[in-house]
Amino acid sequence: MKLPNKETITILALGDIVGRVGRNAVVRNCRFLKEKYHVDFLIVNGENATHGNGLIYKQYLELINAGCDCITMGNHTYGKKEILTYAKNAKKLVVPANLVNLEPELQQNIAYEQKIGEARIKVINLLGIDNIKLSVKSPFIAFKEIYEKDPEAIYIVDFHAELTAEKNSFGYDIDGRASMMFGTHTHVQTADERIMPEGMAYITDAGMCGIRESMIGFDYKEVKKAMWEGTSYSVALKGKGMINGLLTTIDIHSKKAIAIQRINFDVE
């Protein structure tokens, strides 16, 4: 993407896509969002995009063809085993870099780089430790190792973690090295978006792209029943969709965020 004489870049990071309604919301509004907010690069978390658990290749392509520039994952990276067969062809797919014993088929997907004008951005995805129920390396150590090998890039980090305190502490740790961190995984958008002391754009959780009246994207009526009777529940299929995310403008010379805006609106 060649944008001569551009002093800033604008990044839009969307929260977890949950199921068909979430996918449709992003696919139908991707171009609109990029035009409305003058977005240079759009990231979306896709780990719940296929029936709420994982991402198949067909839907990876659907999102990329709609205008998503990068898709990050999370604790449901292996939710659809098909990922092991298509990852080598999915250059814009980023999986958690700190998964222990990461499958060889996914080793090339631990970061995504793109040149935007004079800027070179690098997207990485990391998992938190608390209540994730996967074997993971410390995200603090993992980020340090990645950053020290390439400190000149503009880092955009999707931190997929459960606890707000863990996300907040990680944000303070990478502030000054990363230019943007957006939390994912809990699907509930937080109202703490801000530029941190050393210049990094931050939000504890970007939210989700899915059905507004749902239990983090799942059918709330089924969830209510499950709470009383121990039954199963599924992704919500009907209802008004919503799009959540964080919009950030970054100075390409200082690598610091100079403007942020929380995105939260309903779609038909």
Q: What are phi and psi of 150, to 5 degrees?
A: -155, 70
- Is 76 known to be catalytic? yes
For 14-101, where are the alpha helices, taking DSSP H only?
19-36, 57-66, 83-86
3-state secondary structure of 236: coil
Residue 147 amino acid letter: Y
Q: Which helix (H) or strand (E) holds 14?
A: strand 8-14
Q: Which of 51, 76, 160, 253 is catalytic?
A: 76
Q: Cβ distance 29 to 23 under 8 Å? A: no
Helix, strand, coil share (%) of the chain residues, nearest 5: 25, 30, 40
From CA 249, how far away is CA 257, in angstroms rounded? 6
Strands (E) in 19-108, as ranges, are 41-45, 70-72, 93-94
Q: Cβ distance 237 to 21 under 8 Å? A: yes
The crossing angle, in degrees rounded to 10, of helices 57-66 and 19-36 is 20
Q: Are strands 178-184 and 194-195 parallel, antiparallel or unpaired?
A: unpaired
Write out the two tokens for 91: 């250059």
Report the length, in residues, of the chain. Answer: 268
From CA 1, how far away is CA 66, in angstroms rounded? 17
Q: Which residues are catalytic?
A: 76
